[in-house]
Amino acid sequence: MHLKDKVALVTGAAQGIGNAFARALLEKGCKVALVDQNVERGKASKDAFDKQFEAQRTIFISCDVSSEEKLKDAFKKAFEHFGKLDIVVNNAGVNNEKNWEITVQVNLISVIRGTYIGLEHMKTQNGHNGGVIVNVASLAGLMPVAFQPVYCASKHGVIGFTRSIAMASEAANYGVRINTICPAFVNTPILQSIDKEENMGQYVAYIDKIKDMMEVYGVLEPTLIAKGLIQILEDDSLNGQVMKITTKRGIHFHEYNTAPIETGN
Ligand code: NAD
């Protein structure tokens, strides 16, 4: 996809990885709907973008993605404001092992919903031009993480859903490519949640073990994750792919054995 003048909707765009995504898209000439429940940070990030890019190229939409009604409304607002939608990045996520249902709700259910709503606004069958959806998972979607079992489950769910819906999109000729990005640790405010009882619940006792994991994996900068996003958007051959981003190997793709499980693989 050629990115100039494309319209993107990014959830969780007020800070962290989502904010880096928005910046990278603006640098490529896109218009961006910044969707987030944090109104203060959302407005502040629009103000910051306005200093560098034309103000009409962004809109901030206040939205809790865990509400079906509000998420639908956010897509509608973005579509009506910019007149079309080409790119959806379902990025908003939380780390909460204490009130773990919210983790499933935001990280998985809202990503599924964002994908379905995105398809309605982009698929060729509805008279649109197609597009690209990118769902943000994590390396925790590809391996067990002892002290974040529900976060881990939510991210495994994102990968399974994204690979499957990508196949469905291709079979139905929606004209929409759907891929996922799995970063290792990234230097964003979410990392501050790992030593808080209100986020980690019973697992807060294992904070040292999580910090050990950070030492092993290292911590990436959000700009590298944004580089991965741009690569997925620009390469029209990518559908159903799982991009991994790590300190040792940088941006690369997970390779699956695609033979049917029944054959013994
Ligand atoms: P972050 O906490 O810095 O930013 C998350 C953003 O999502 C915030 O602006 C927050 O307000 C928003 N958000 C949270 N819940 C929301 C809701 N219900 N409705 C609307 N907005 C909501 O975190 P981040 O590190 O930038 O995380 C972005 C994504 O990347 C998440 O899906 C996260 O799981 C994933 N990820 C992060 C890391 C990491 O180490 N930082 C690693 C792998 C994957």
If one residue of 90, 95, 190 were mutated to test the ligand 1 pocket, choosing by the most ligand atoms within 8 A of its CB, it would be: 190
Cα dihedral sign for 111, 117, 119, 121?
negative
CA angle 161, 65, 116 (to 5 degrees): 40
- Neighbouring residues of 54: CB distance < 8 A, sequence distance ≥ 6: none
User: How do residues 8-30 score in pLDDT, each as one tens digit?
Assistant: 999 999 999 999 999 999 999 99
SS3 221: coil
Residue 29 near residue 234 (C-beta atoms within 8 A): no
Q: Domains (ranges, CATH) in the chain?
A: 7-253 (3.40.50.720)
Residue 124 near residue 107 (C-beta atoms within 8 A): no
Question: What pLDDT, on a 0 to 100 scale, did the predictor assign at position 133?
Answer: 99
Q: Are strands 250-253 and 242-246 parallel, antiparallel or unpaired?
A: antiparallel
Q: Work out which ligand 1 atom sits closest to the CA atom of 155.
A: 34
At 228, which helix (H) or strand (E)? helix 222-234
Question: What pLDDT, on a 0 to 100 scale, did the predictor assign at position 264?
Answer: 59
SS3 256: coil
What DSSP designation does 107 have?
I
Q: Work out which ligand 1 atom sits closest to the CA atom of 137.
A: 44
Q: Where do we find the tokens 């925790």?
A: 140
Would you call 256 a catalytic residue per the annotation?
Answer: no
At 169, which helix (H) or strand (E)? helix 149-171
Q: How far is CA 15 from CA 46, 88, 181, 188, 230, in A?
A: 11, 17, 17, 8, 18
H-state helical runs in the chain: 16-27, 39-52, 68-82, 100-104, 110-122, 149-171, 197-200, 207-217, 222-234
pLDDT 10s per residue in the chain (265 long)?
A: 999 999 999 999 999 999 999 999 999 999 999 999 999 999 999 999 999 999 999 999 999 999 999 999 999 999 999 999 999 999 999 999 999 999 999 999 999 999 999 999 999 999 999 999 999 999 999 999 999 999 999 999 999 999 999 999 999 999 999 999 999 999 999 999 999 999 999 999 999 999 999 999 999 999 999 999 999 999 999 999 999 999 999 999 999 988 887 765 5
194 CA → ligand 1 middle, Å: 13
18 lines ligand 1 (CB under 6 A): yes
Q: How far apart are the C-alpha atoms of 53 and 5, rounded to whole Å?
A: 13
Residue 233 near residue 132 (C-beta atoms within 8 A): yes
- Neighbouring residues of 108: CB distance < 8 A, sequence distance ≥ 6: 153, 154, 157, 158, 161
Residue 86 near residue 121 (C-beta atoms within 8 A): no
Look up the ipTM and state it.
0.99
Phi, psi of 17 (to 5 degrees): -65, -40
Residue 242 near residue 182 (C-beta atoms within 8 A): yes
Question: What pLDDT, on a 0 to 100 scale, did the predictor assign at position 263?
Answer: 67
Question: What pLDDT, on a 0 to 100 scale, did the predictor assign at position 258?
Answer: 80
Cα 99 to the center of its chain, rounded Å: 21
Q: How far apart are the C-alpha atoms of 205 and 201, rounded to whole Å?
A: 9
Q: Work out which ligand 1 atom sits closest to the CA atom of 190.
A: 2
User: How do residues 148-196 score in pLDDT, each as one tens digit?
Assistant: 999 999 999 999 999 999 999 999 999 999 999 999 999 999 999 999 9
